[in-house]
Structure 1
Amino acid sequence: MTDAPPIVRLTDLRLDRGGRAVLRDINLNVPRGSITAVLGPSGSGKSTLLSALTGELAPAAGTVEVFGQAVPQAKRALLELRKGIGVLLQGNGLLTDLTAAENVALPLRAHTDLPDAVIRTLVLMKLHAVGLRAAADAYPRELSGGMARRVALARALALDPPLMIYDEPLTGLDPIASGVVMALVRRLNDTLGLTSIVVTHHVHETLPIADHAIVIANGGIVFSGSPAELEASSDPLVHQFLKGEPDGPIAFDAAPRTANAPETDPA
């Protein structure tokens, strides 16, 4: 890590949906070159936080800074910012009528004027980076779940973004595929000089590759520290989440909504 400004800075952030607070008092710095795990149970607000990082949701209060600037609301400026952010969607988002190579080429064709031969070379390089160069001409239906996830990762890397956001990258994957994907996240982060934010509820698969971890629950950040500190925490909220216990300070059933109560989030 260096003394450079954080690539992401959240300051006194409050995020609302439908006029109701989902997250409050969020403060977080993401150092360049790091992998930060954003952990929490379903409905805790992880997807809402991701929406704020990509500019889909404007803060109700506080600030979201990416690359040293506040995330803009103007469409043109926001589009330019997003070119520097790669997002791996939990559903992959691959177009079924296109081959793996054609899927990876989409961002390059949409945002550059590069010749076809150069795009083809870059696509093969990205597929090689995720171990799937030989699957360039395969269609998504011909790929396993883990392979499809890696093709989606290659596409997210197509424009060489300095910041990668992984939205539940292990959804639907078996333990072996999960291990492959998480090892790949660590290797790509280190070899390409990326900064990564992994939004997930898969704690035990994610902590081994993370430099920093935060846990979101009950409308805010209940833990921020190293993976080792997280696993050693005696906080009841953290303990309940790590152990998967149904009873504790994190409510399983949704509480009745009030104007001041945090609203649950789809993820």
Structure 2
Amino acid sequence: MTVANATAVHLSDLRLDRGGRTILGGIDLAVPTGSITAVLGPSGCGKSTLLAALTGELQPAGGSVEIFGQPVPQRSRDLLEMRKSIGVLLQGNGLLTDLSVADNVALPLRTHTRLAAPLIDRIVEFKLNAVGLRAAANAYPRELSGGMARRVALARALALDPPLMLYDEPLTGLDPIASGVIMSLIQRLNHTLGLTSIVVSHHVHETLPIADQVLVIANGGLVFSGTPAELETSSDPLVRQFLRGEPDGPIAFDAAQRTEAA
């Protein structure tokens, strides 16, 4: 898949349904190649559903999704090939507890390539060094702190050198110091490796400093798109309620009834 396109991700009038109900609708988005885009919003607003559409796990009910100028394919073989160009950092890390740190990072390389074992070992060493965990190669996930485990998962997501990285709530369960380390890593790796990153989060103050553009999702749609500075000065009541963490306002605390899919 080529990465020469100036737009890494393009969504046009996207509608996403689950269980016969519309979760998100009317989503238009262009993510410039090389940028960091923050997708913010309250829990349950559909942020992870949006990521599922980007990886092809969820097919759109309407509109289109393009990755580096190509529509997300539906055929299993084509979809698998496309996914090699997308790294995903999951909320729960997804590390295999019976494998060492090094073996966890090596897993995508052993599964999707025919590289010789010594070369895989060198790549794993490089990826672990990039996240500051070269010395932990022989440790097991149960021996790691939450922040260290998240960094191992990040190294594994980068194993195949994907040009696009998706982060699903990367700060979940982390203390402030570990959170700062992860966000700094996301920014540094994006710049040094020439990546494009989409960070889905509800941690506003930790995410905004590294973002080039910000989206806010609420009430089934996109309620803001712009720069972090524009977000901070927005007078939109939806945006202000979310940023201030106010319980009362246009974003309901209780889950809103989803729209019936057409």
- 1:254 is displaced (CA, Å) by 2.1
Separation of aligned partners in 1, 2:203 and 2:48 = 14
Secondary structure of the residue that 1:41 maps to in structure 2? coil
What residue in structure 2 maps to residue 182 of structure 1?
183
What residue in structure 2 maps to residue 127 of structure 1?
128
What residue in structure 1 maps to residue 234 of structure 2?
233
- 1:30 is displaced (CA, Å) by 0.3
Separation of aligned partners in 1, 2:235 and 2:206 = 21
What residue in structure 2 maps to residue 199 of structure 1?
200
Separation of aligned partners in 1, 2:5 and 2:259 = 42
Separation of aligned partners in 1, 2:6 and 2:173 = 36
What residue in structure 1 maps to residue 84 of structure 2?
83
- 1:104 is displaced (CA, Å) by 0.0
- 1:47-97 per-position Cα deviation (integer Å, ceiling 9, x unaligned): 110000000000100000012111011000000000000000010000001
Q: How does 1:21-36 map to 2 (within 5 A)?
A: 21-36=22-37
Letter in 1 for 2:176: P
Separation of aligned partners in 2, 1:30 and 1:195 = 8
Q: 1:258 to 1:73 in 2, by over 3 A?
A: closer
Q: 1:44 to 1:256 in 2, by over 3 A?
A: closer
Separation of aligned partners in 2, 1:97 and 1:260 = 43
What residue in structure 2 maps to residue 19 of structure 1?
20
Q: 1:38 to 1:257 in 2, by over 3 A?
A: closer
What residue in structure 1 maps to residue 6 of structure 2?
5
What residue in structure 2 maps to residue 265 of structure 1?
none
What residue in structure 1 maps to residue 214 of structure 2?
213
Separation of aligned partners in 2, 1:202 and 1:258 = 27
What residue in structure 1 maps to residue 143 of structure 2?
142
Q: 1:187 to 1:258 in 2, by over 3 A?
A: closer
Separation of aligned partners in 1, 2:5 and 2:105 = 31
Contact 2:163 2:195 in 1 (8 A): yes
Runs of 4+ off more than 3 Å = 255-258
Separation of aligned partners in 2, 1:86 and 1:235 = 33
Using structure 2 for the length normalisation, give the TM-score.
0.97
Contact 2:17 2:261 in 1 (8 A): no
Separation of aligned partners in 2, 1:170 and 1:182 = 8
Task: Give the aligned CA root-mean-square deviation in angstroms.
Answer: 1.2
Separation of aligned partners in 2, 1:138 and 1:257 = 45
Letter in 2 for 1:90: Q
Contact 2:22 2:259 in 1 (8 A): no
Letter in 2 for 1:244: G
Secondary structure of the residue that 1:180 maps to in structure 2? helix
- 1:5 is displaced (CA, Å) by 2.9
Give structure 2 stretches of 5+ with no counterpart: none
Separation of aligned partners in 1, 2:71 and 2:258 = 31
Separation of aligned partners in 1, 2:185 and 2:101 = 18
Q: Percent identity?
A: 77
Q: 1:251 to 1:260 in 2, by over 3 A?
A: farther
